[in-house]
Amino acid sequence: MAAEHDAEPMTPRPDVGPVVSSAHLARSSLPALSEVEFALTMAGNAFHRWMVRCMAAAGAPGLSPLEILIVHLVHHRERPKTLADICLVLNIEDTHLVNYAIKKLVSQKLVKAGRKGKEKTVEITSAGAAICTRYGEIREALVVRAARQMGHDPADISRMAALMRTLSGAYDQAARAAAAM
């Protein structure tokens, strides 16, 4: 019976709609947006899982995705960042989450706290820079190589990133509007 079923040719079914997690939301004037939302959910979860596992392989196990994002951002351009800088760049409203993550990174000696006038700053340590370098090497070997083998045009990937940033702005504006309702 199974052999019979396996022998059947795969034919596309025209009645299968877009790949979404919430069909009721796809019944809108823009069903493709529901496809994007589901893809963002899947990609976001996969990316977070990747970051945690890559950072563990690089030698810093136990960090959350937010902590990993912060250590990379603090290392970016090798200059100190303020709490406001970090929250702005990562589009995070809750400064308490970022403060807690910074305290954990300081305790692990991956970043160090400083001051710029009255503002607290965060700067990468040599240990933090080394972890970021090792993470980058693992990323190059595992993710970048795989992405290049898929044959996507780098310009298409950049356009996709620009579209995602634009959509994030639309979601931010909609969140402000929803909060005002």
Contact (CB, 8 A) for 91 and 97: no
| pLDDT reported for residue 99 | 96
104 closest CA partner among 92, 81, 122: 122
Q: Which strand (E) or helix (H) includes residue 120?
A: strand 119-124
> Per-residue pLDDT tens for 65-77?
999 999 999 999 9
Distance CA 54, CA 65 (A): 11
d(CA 130, CA 108): 13
Other Cβ atoms within 10 Å of 51 Cβ, number: 20
pLDDT in tens, 84-117: 999 999 999 999 999 999 999 999 999 999 998 8
Instruction: Name the DSSP letter for residue 150.
Output: T
Dihedrals phi, psi of 121, to nearest 5 degrees: -120, 165
CB neighbour burial string for 107-139, b if at least 16 within 10 angstroms, e if fewer: ebebbbeeeeeeeebbebbeebbebbebbeeee
Please indicate, yes or no, whether the overall pTM of this predicted structure exceeds 0.75: yes
Identify the structural domains of the chain with CATH numbers, from first to last. Answer: 31-168 (1.10.10.10)
